[in-house]
Structure 1
Amino acid sequence: MDVSSTLVFAGIILVLLWLFSVNNSSKHRLPPGPRALPLIGNLPQIDSNAPFKSITKFSETYGPVVTLYVGRQRTVALFGYDVVKEALVDQGDDFTGREQLPFMLKATRGYGLGISNGERWRQLRRFTLTTLRDFGMGRKGMEEWIQEESQHLEAHIRSLKGQPFEPTFLLGCTVSNVICCLVFGERFNYEDKQFLRLLNIFTEFIRFNTSTMGQLYAIFPWFIERLPGHHHTVFAQMDEVREFIKKKIQEHKETLEPNSPRDYIDCFLIRMNQEKDNPSTEFIYDNLVSTVMNLFFAGTETTSTTMRYALSALIKYPEIQEKMRQEIDTVIGQNRCPNMEDRKSLPFTDAVIHEVQRFLDIVPFSVPRYTLKDISFRGYTIPKGTTILPMLHSVLREEKQWASPWSFKPEHFLDQNGNFKKNPAFLPFSAGKRNCVGESLARMELFLFLVSLLQHFTFSCSEGPDSINLVPEYSGFANMPRMHDIIATPR
């Protein structure tokens, strides 16, 4: 058989496979959606530069629950607060499945908390939440760690003597050191070359997954894997992170004192030893390595990116920055560290931080869910094996939930008397049983770090406020803010 005949034969087989999957789907009452093409599904209708925008447009025609095909993968997108809450909270047990994202599967070897399901997920999530809380996540002990790290950050910025700098890696170091204290039991110097290398790898990994090639890898991993390209470099770099983590685990094994655990790794190693004879345990070495990778990565990137975006927003809106500073000076002054008790007395500052998270919309799709069984939802049947996209973008920008969803307005979180008010549609950490495991830590970091920075510095840029563009540079799996050189003038 010649090459052309082989290609035709392969094409026929693929079309038959697609037709089989579509016919199989017709047995269920799927939500409505746009007509899909063989093999590539609805990809031609999705803008790779901002896929969440294209997918959101489908809801204008087909309603708040939409079926589409990303390649051959059947996908159901959920739009608006009411629908997302109904799925993730009211029917939370049905939507606990996690999509096996190809790039995460490759990086973690399929182990760890991030993309696990079933008993593995239950065991690891319960243990992780309990252990992180025991070591102070959301409590006074963690507050002191963040306050100490704030002082390191302040000292480093002062050493720049008002010169412009790009804050990505500095903020990455600051935030990462907090999770490093929890997981590794140590912090790293801002000049540590290996530490900076790891943070650079995290940034490259996010950029790759947000790029067009990263999106293609997520849809056609079996094909892209066989092509030359930058993705091979990115995954080789993630192997460097794995080796770093393995080295730290070995150091912990050699110095472990079972009656005096120092951090997350110690606690996991102790649990591994306790359950070594349990054939159904999930406390195994591979899960330790990959869960530490999950925590290290997630505990660094999202919070540091949000802080960087916050500084850009404050430079773009200097009147907001000044109003925050006046409130902070009145309540705290400049001579003591802020603490979480101060938040109730800083309603405007708290509102700005919430608005930064809403407006950045860092994970517009949330982290995709996956149906582990057939699910009945809003009169439809969503078959087992369907990807679920809870469109957080549609919640954070929903017109009936926010007065001016497309404008940066801290007033979204203030009542008519200037008091902070909650909005149930504020879901940057997702919702339900698979919401962000580090939500309380991230909230504490954002508040304490940003308040501390505004106590001691005024932020600006050489080109002026109008030069700041808050539209993300990349919009794929995540919204990645643009980089700006900023100036921190000591007060």
Structure 2
Amino acid sequence: MELREYKPVLLLAQNKLNKFLNFPDTATGRLGPPRIPIVGYLPFFNKRLPHKQMTRLSQTYGPVMGIYFGNLPNIVLSGWEAVKEGMLNDDLIGRPSYGFATLLHKEQKGIILTEGDLWKEQRQFTRHHLKSLGMGKASHEVVIQEEAEELIKDIKASQSSVDLTKLFAVSFVNILWSLMGGKKLSRKDPSLLNVVESLDNVLRDADNVAYNDTERLHDYCQILVSTSHISALATVTTQSCYIVDFIPKTVEEHKATLDPDNPRSFIDVYLNEITKHSNNPDTTFSEAQLVSVCWDMFSAGTDTSTSALSNAVLMVILHPHVAQAIYKELDQVVGRNRLPSMEDKHRLVYTEATLNEVYRFRQPAPLSVPHKALKDTILQGHRIPAETVVLMNIYSVHMDQDYWGDPHVFRPERFIKSDGSLRKDERFIPFGKGKRLCVGEPQARMSTFLFFTALMQHFIFKLDPAIPVVDTEGRFGVTLAAPDYKVFAEARF
């Protein structure tokens, strides 16, 4: 369905509705694309690559654009100035309510989808104690390297082409679980494999639910907007229930063997905190909240890191000169008798620049998790009413041609200074900015670096021609996943 074919009808419908409701252009007073009454812009919404569509629309309607998903007004921010101002505006750090979240957890809990005092306390606690348990630190490096060795063995043992994305997902879930649950599982453990499969199913369908499902979107709107919404909600709910059941079972196991003086994991630390606040009726610490925090870490940490690593391998396959430069640097700095470590990072400048370019070129989260205005606020001179949902278009920042020059070219050199050192850039924001900056960034950066360098040290990858990569744009869900592909892995030594 092409929007231009229906534009006269849409404009007439919108003008009549706006006149009736006394709206100027949209409910927020912002310019934006025409909408159909009740369903808004959803029939024309590009669920495959929404970030690209929003960027194109912003060229017509500006960096602060109003758009309706169903009968709900939203704001999409595009371009560096608008996105930066939005991310740093403390009035825009709220979260909208989602029916599927309350369906799973009875009420909206965790860190990603919460706001206010609960979010502040839980985010601070989680960040502090994950760091104390080794997140992003040298003490956790050994665990990641052990997992990298197991990953390398799995690839070498394969008798045919390999689906790296599935193998990577197992690795990242296992690494996260070592922090949350205190131990790594066997890569063949059925419970681990079921969690990985369920996560993939949830995160591929959750976008369909998220844009069609908020507590303020009427049930009849959901049905009119998309029949696939019901199917997607069923998938998300069913698959999420497996993970939500897996986590409480583990919590119960930890409760039975807990030594308060010697916590083994984040779950133990959190259980101690629940006991500490047991007499406080206003406490935010509960077993339900613990389950939700673990779910958040699984869903956010696994998908973004798996996408980044899968895209990194694909990019070096498609750009052989980049792969050759990385091989040369790894051989010179690390050699072949040990795995790369974090101590090597400052000398593996080209390799690190390549990973930065992957994050820029194939941003795992091109559209931010939806924000919400906590109160009336001003953004780029525009009034944003309280409760308005705001999306940050990070893709538009990373693909700004006026700034980057050749943003659609994969070129790691853009992150290297003339003196050969790594160049930092404030417009490089793959993990966001401000108070909603991703809690797991240190862990994601560290594990992706160690896995990528270990893989490039050991293998030369070639695409399996039986599964052609038609384009490299990827598959959009909650994040932008790498396209489906398989590789043949040739040992370098």
TM-score by length of 2: 0.89
1:312 corresponds to: 314
Query: Does the 8 A contact of 2:28 with 2:73 survive in 1?
Result: no
Aligned residues: 470
Instruction: Map 1:111-260; keep pairs closer than 5 Å.
Output: 111-160=109-158, 163-210=160-207, 215-217=211-213, 222-223=219-220, 224=222, 229-260=231-262
Q: CA offsets, 1:356-379, max 9 Å, x none?
A: 111112222111100111112222
Query: Does the 8 A contact of 1:396 with 1:425 survive in 2?
Result: yes
Cα distance, 1:237 vs structure 2? 1.8
Query: Does the 8 A contact of 2:69 with 2:211 survive in 1?
Result: no
Three-state SS of the structure 1 residue aligned to 2:75 is strand
* Structure 1: gaps of 5 or more residues: 1-14
Note if 1:86 corresponds to 2:85.
Answer: yes
Query: Does the 8 A contact of 2:32 with 2:66 survive in 1?
Result: yes
Which stretch shifts more, 51-60 or 393-402?
Answer: 51-60
Three-state SS of the structure 2 residue aligned to 1:68 is strand
Note if 1:324 corresponds to 2:323.
Answer: no
2:407 corresponds to: 405
Which amino acid letter does the alignment assign opposite residue 249 of structure 2?
A: K
Q: CA offsets, 1:40-89, max 9 Å, x none?
A: 22334433332222222221122211112111111111111122112212
**C-alpha distance in 2, partners of 1:24/1:389?**
21
**C-alpha distance in 1, partners of 2:59/2:437?**
27
Query: Does the 8 A contact of 2:247 with 2:291 survive in 1?
Result: yes
2:449 corresponds to: 447
Three-state SS of the structure 2 residue aligned to 1:400 is helix
Cα distance, 1:230 vs structure 2? 5.0
Three-state SS of the structure 1 residue aligned to 2:110 is coil
**C-alpha distance in 1, partners of 2:470/2:335?**
31
**C-alpha distance in 1, partners of 2:102/2:78?**
27
The verdict on how the C-alpha distance between 1:389 and 1:234 changes in structure 2, with shifts beyond 3 A counting, is: closer
Three-state SS of the structure 2 residue aligned to 1:424 is coil
**C-alpha distance in 1, partners of 2:49/2:262?**
49
Instruction: Map 1:60-79; keep pairs closer than 5 Å.
Output: 60-79=59-78
The verdict on how the C-alpha distance between 1:23 and 1:115 changes in structure 2, with shifts beyond 3 A counting, is: farther
Query: Does the 8 A contact of 1:171 with 1:304 survive in 2?
Result: yes
1:263 corresponds to: 265
The verdict on how the C-alpha distance between 1:278 and 1:157 changes in structure 2, with shifts beyond 3 A counting, is: same
Cα distance, 1:215 vs structure 2? 4.4
**C-alpha distance in 1, partners of 2:232/2:23?**
37
2:33 corresponds to: 34
The verdict on how the C-alpha distance between 1:399 and 1:79 changes in structure 2, with shifts beyond 3 A counting, is: same
* Structure 2: gaps of 5 or more residues: 1-13
Cα distance, 1:233 vs structure 2? 3.6
Which stretch shifts more, 152-161 or 430-439?
Answer: 152-161
Q: CA RMSD in A?
A: 2.5
1:489 corresponds to: 490
Which one of 277, 291, 299 corresponds to residue 289 of structure 1? 291
The verdict on how the C-alpha distance between 1:451 and 1:123 changes in structure 2, with shifts beyond 3 A counting, is: same
**C-alpha distance in 2, partners of 1:131/1:274?**
15
**C-alpha distance in 2, partners of 1:309/1:485?**
12
Three-state SS of the structure 1 residue aligned to 2:267 is helix
Cα distance, 1:19 vs structure 2? 6.4
Three-state SS of the structure 2 residue aligned to 1:67 is strand
Three-state SS of the structure 1 residue aligned to 2:404 is coil
Three-state SS of the structure 2 residue aligned to 1:85 is helix
Q: CA offsets, 1:369-398, max 9 Å, x none?
A: 001111122222100110001111111111
Q: CA offsets, 1:281-323, max 9 Å, x none?
A: 1001211111111112222111012111111111111221111
**C-alpha distance in 2, partners of 1:448/1:311?**
13
Q: Percent identity?
A: 31
Q: CA offsets, 1:12-47, max 9 Å, x none?
A: xxx9xx869954788997333234332122334433
